[in-house]
A and B are shown apart, each in its own frame.
Chain A
Amino acid sequence: MTIPAAVLEPEASPQATAEERWRALKTVSPGDVVYRTVLTVFALLLPLVLVTIALELGVNAWPAVAKFGFGFLTHSTWDPVRGEFGALPLIFGTLYSSLVALVIAVPLALGCAIFLTEFAPRWIRTPAATLIELLAAVPSVIYGLWGIFVLIPLLRDHFWPVARHALSWLPIFGGVFYGPSVLAGGVILSIMVLPYIAAVSREVLLAVPPSQREAGLALGATRWETVWTVILPYGRAGIIGAVILGLGRALGETMAVTMVIGNRHEVSASLLQPGYTIAAAIANEFSEAVSDIHLSALFFVGAVLFLITIAVNALARVLVWRVARGSAIGSTAI
């Protein structure tokens, strides 16, 4: 039997996919065809489920779409009794709370990732990474309970009395602070998305070629300067992708958010005011929704969330793949 060329001359890049190497061999046996077909059939189940979910959302949302049109996205009244539904506060609250979550989580997560790849002593790296990733394993309900009993009192009775002297003149810190608020929701979300952004960023930073780091140090930069001016820019696309991935998680989070955000159908610039998110509204109102149009409105807003999630994930994947080509970034933590 002849030795295939691919075995005699292995390619230099270890990243060459199995696919490319297989192609060189040109061996086909019936078992191969069966194997590939079976696997493909299994793999097709995923798009089947996704399409079915999308269709179900669309079909059930249709009565609301027909009745409200795109005004649904710009009106603020959510009145189940009269059958008038406007989802602007939901969409606003979803995006606002997720934004707050990212503003808090991204610097922290990046700090963690840099810590784990650059500055931590070798013996700390594994345990610390494990602990940070464990944050992702805590169920949402438990985050919610913690939010009610620990976070909100902390914010209302300890943080705000001190911070108000400096911050209360800003419109985003305006109004009276009762506890349940967009701020509380954003903080809880930030804790929940931090492990994902940190884990993905860490993978991205690990994928930066050592030659880059060495070049920076060779040119006289301190370790921090190397990180800031060489490594981070190199992994910039991937890190942005990690952030957008975290955003995707934040958008769909339900239980923890609804327990601390105040659940108010109102648009307000202030972080201290209560707000509402799409996922929280669906979770709260779905079981008790009595009228068909109410149900349909919930499906409509769910479909909106679905589309936002798709767009966000598309953006994230494209960016992350550019830097860390091929490997399943972030999958171990998710």
Chain B
Amino acid sequence: MMHGRIARRLVGSTMTGVTYGAAALAILPLAAILGMLLLKGAGSINWDFFVKSAVPVGEPGGGFANAIVGTLIIVGLACTVGVPIGVATGIFLAEFGGGRFGFTIRFVADVLNGVPSIVIGIFAWTWLVKPMGHFSALAGGCALAVILVPILARTTEEMVRLVPNSLREAGLALGYPRWRTSLLIVARTAGAGIVTGCLVAVARVAGETAPLLFTALGNQFFSTRLQAPMAALPLQVYNYAVGPYDEWHRQAWAGALVLIVLVLALSLIARAVVRAKRQHA
């Protein structure tokens, strides 16, 4: 009996340690990747990097300004198109999504989440680039929106579900029709959470390369025109990384560092808001 008890306790302690190990092992790659980027990229980050566009090879200076601004614009476009659709779908799923129709929409969102982004890029090319006759930032933004919407729909749904039913009841009890309750009380209460969902989705699409390849195409020049090709951070990073020049490689690492800092910062803000919300929900 004694033997059994000790053995069981040993197993328990060991497995506890194993789970600690698993967590540590999971975080290790993150640290390794950040470390590598810092090592290779931090040296090339300077003021020029953020304000100057690409210069011819061999000339000093030059930076990723066109790519950084391009990413901000294209992602902004994706949000303008994708956020209303995603949030609306999410509210729909939370408020009216109990039946079979809701099940279908939810399932479709999940499947879309799993479609490789290059397929979405090809899809956007067929419907937005070819008919228009040219590449454009607009097409790039729409391609990213297609990736954004399913993510946002699901996160919005979860945030809206967290709103206690007592709030809905209070609204109804006070005489508000259902739609006003849903929109003005429930959705507004979930507002911070919805914004969080947006940040999470934006973090994901900001790093996508493949969909932009056939839509925004990329641009060496600084351009803010929505109807013209536009540069983007992940695209430029990739182009420079596969080029032959060391100078390009250094800038690619720096670009990757900027990209990941941007993405991680957004994700951290999102998580912080979510956890604060969950504690009060």
Residue among B15, B88, B110 facing the most chain A CB atoms (10 A cut-off):
B110
- The answer, among A44, A139, A316, for a CB contact under 8 Å with B207, is A139
Give chain B interface residues in 222-268, CB to chain A under 8 Å.
Answer: 234, 237-238, 241, 256, 259-260, 263-264, 266-268
B221 within 8 A of A: no
B85 within 8 A of A: yes
Count residues of A near B (Cβ-Cβ below 8 Å). 106
If over half of B's interface residues share one DSSP class (helix, strand or loop), that class is named, otherwise mixed; here it is helix
Please measure, in the bound complex, the distance between the C-alpha atom of A66 and the C-alpha atom of B260, giving whole angstroms: 44
B75 within 8 A of A: no
B188 CB to closest chain A CB, in angstroms?
Answer: 15
Contacts of B52 in A (CB 8 A): none
Number of residue pairs across A and B with beta carbons under 8 Å? 282
Q: Is the CB of B111 within 8 A of A50?
A: yes
A12 within 8 A of B: no
A34 CB to closest chain B CB, in angstroms?
Answer: 7
Q: Is the CB of A139 within 8 A of B8?
A: no
Give chain A interface residues in 85-109, CB to chain B under 8 Å.
Answer: 107-109
Please measure, in the bound complex, the distance between the C-alpha atom of A1 and the C-alpha atom of B172, giving whole angstroms: 11
Which residue of A is nearest B272, CB measured? A130
- The answer, among A6, A17, A198, A283, for a CB contact under 8 Å with B118, is A283
If over half of A's interface residues share one DSSP class (helix, strand or loop), that class is named, otherwise mixed; here it is helix
B66 CB to closest chain A CB, in angstroms?
Answer: 18
Contacts of B158 in A (CB 8 A): 327-328, 331-332
Q: Mark B93-118, 1 if CB is under 8 A from A, else 0.
A: 11111110000111111111111111
The 17 sampled A-B contact pairs (Cβ below 8 Å) are: A32-B178, A39-B89, A43-B93, A45-B85, A56-B122, A111-B23, A131-B27, A132-B27, A133-B267, A137-B264, A138-B33, A138-B264, A146-B32, A195-B26, A255-B210, A332-B155, A332-B200
**Hey, which bits of chain B sit against chain A, CB under 8 A?**
8-9, 11-12, 15-16, 18-23, 25-27, 29-30, 32-33, 36-37, 84-85, 88-89, 91-99, 104-120, 122-123, 126-127, 146, 149-151, 153-155, 157-158, 161, 165-166, 168-169, 172-173, 175, 177-180, 182-183, 197, 200, 203-204, 206-210, 213, 234, 237-238, 241, 256, 259-260, 263-264, 266-268, 271, 274-275
**Hey, which bits of chain A sit against chain B, CB under 8 A?**
1, 3-4, 6-7, 10, 14, 16-22, 25, 27, 29, 31-32, 34-36, 38-40, 42-47, 49-50, 52-53, 56-57, 107-112, 114-116, 118-120, 126, 128, 130-135, 137-143, 145-146, 149-150, 191, 194-195, 198, 222-225, 227-228, 248-249, 251-255, 279, 282-283, 286-287, 302, 305-306, 309-310, 312-314, 316-317, 326-328, 331-332, 334
